[in-house]
Amino acid sequence: MLNLVRDALALVYAIGRKSVCAVVGHDFGSPVAAYCALIRPDVFRSVALMSAHFDGPPPISETEEVDMAAGLAALSPPKKHYQHYYCTPDANAEMLEPDTGLPDFLRTYFHVKSADWASNKPFVLNGWTPDELARMPSYYVMGMDDSMPEAIRQHAPTRSEIDACRWLTQNDLEVYVEEFGRTGFQGGLNWYRCSFLPDHQNELRLFAGRTIEVPSCFIGGANDWGVYQSPGALERMQRSACTDMRLVELVDGAGHWVQQEKTCEVVQLLTTFLKGYCAFET
């Protein structure tokens, strides 16, 4: 994570600036943006977090972790969390070369995490327990023996749903297919692998107790399970992790890809947030 913050800082200096009005991050980019603002508030003068919460650095003293992998595996039928799956050696090849082909896999993956999939109706979980996590869709808590393509295959969009999708055109999809076909997924999957290393958490404990004090906001999709996957995290973000939270908005009709599904609404929310305190430079 600190390497990623260092990259963002280097980019600011590379474009000839010593600070920027805001840093914006979506999904795994959200904690990167959060740590940018937490560690260098003099450079990143505000932060917009999207679709993934930030509830603060890990505490200085290690707490007893729930062995969620073992707990999910003990369910009947046995399950596994998608983040653990992404850490496995086979995940890249299984997603890159699924039986139905890369275009169908990517189209289905975008679909099931969007508001277009009618079954995306998230709710607050009662706790961080295997039974509660198993209530989430199969793209979060998968069958023990499933690959990601197998976990979501039954939810593939119909021809009419594909034709009705305006936020992911066929041309867009072809770009993703070409690029992921060229690079594979391993670069992104390594982010998950790193996040489970003990040294990763230990490194971030350097900032235990520190809060984000610059103006902040959170934008997510009302149909995004990612907002609810960690019980209580959204509340902790507003209550303690961010001391100057200006805006929290869950956009109707959007799932995980909120900035694609509801582009105009997201741009308006970001503009409102920035105009609230930041003098734009010409």
* Cis previous bond, 57, omega within 30: no
pLDDT tens column, 162-219: 999 999 999 999 999 999 999 999 999 999 999 988 889 899 999 999 999 999 999 9
Cβ atoms within 10 Å, residue 35:
25
pLDDT tens column, 77-134: 999 999 999 999 999 999 999 999 999 999 999 999 999 999 999 999 999 999 999 9
3-state secondary structure of 4: helix
pLDDT for position 123: 93
pLDDT for position 279: 56
Backbone angles phi, psi at 84, to 5 degrees: -70, -40
Q: Are 38 and 207 in contact (CB under 8 A)?
A: yes
Long-range contacts of 5-8 (CB under 8 A, 24+ apart): 5/32, 5/35, 5/36, 5/39, 5/40, 8/32, 8/33, 8/36, 8/44
Decide if pLDDT at 280 tops 60.
no
pLDDT tens column, 237-262: 999 999 999 999 999 999 999 999 99
If pLDDT is split at 50, 70 and 90, which confidence band does 232 have?
confident
**What Å distances lie between residue 44 and 87, 117, 152, 273, 278, CA to CA?**
31, 36, 38, 15, 12
Rounded to 5°, the CA angle 262-148-108 comes to 40
Tokens (6 digits) for 210: 């520190």
Share of the chain above pLDDT 70, in %: 96
- How buried is residue 254: exposed, middle or buried, by Cβ count under 10 Å (0-12/13-18/19+)? buried
Q: DSSP assignment of 83-115, as one string?
A: HHHHTSTTHHHHHHS-TT-HHHHHHHHHHHTST
pLDDT tens column, 8-38: 999 999 999 999 999 999 999 999 999 999 9
C-alpha closest to that of 149 among 182, 183, 179, 111: 111
Cβ atoms within 10 Å, residue 107:
22
C-alpha closest to that of 37 among 26, 49, 45, 25: 45
**What Å distances lie between residue 18 and 104, 167, 224, CA to CA?**
44, 35, 35
pLDDT for position 198: 84
Q: What is the rounded average pLDDT for all residues in the chain?
A: 94
Decide if pLDDT at 282 tops 50.
no
pLDDT tens column, 58-76: 998 766 677 899 999 999 9
The continuous run of DSSP H or E covering 187 comes out as: helix 186-195
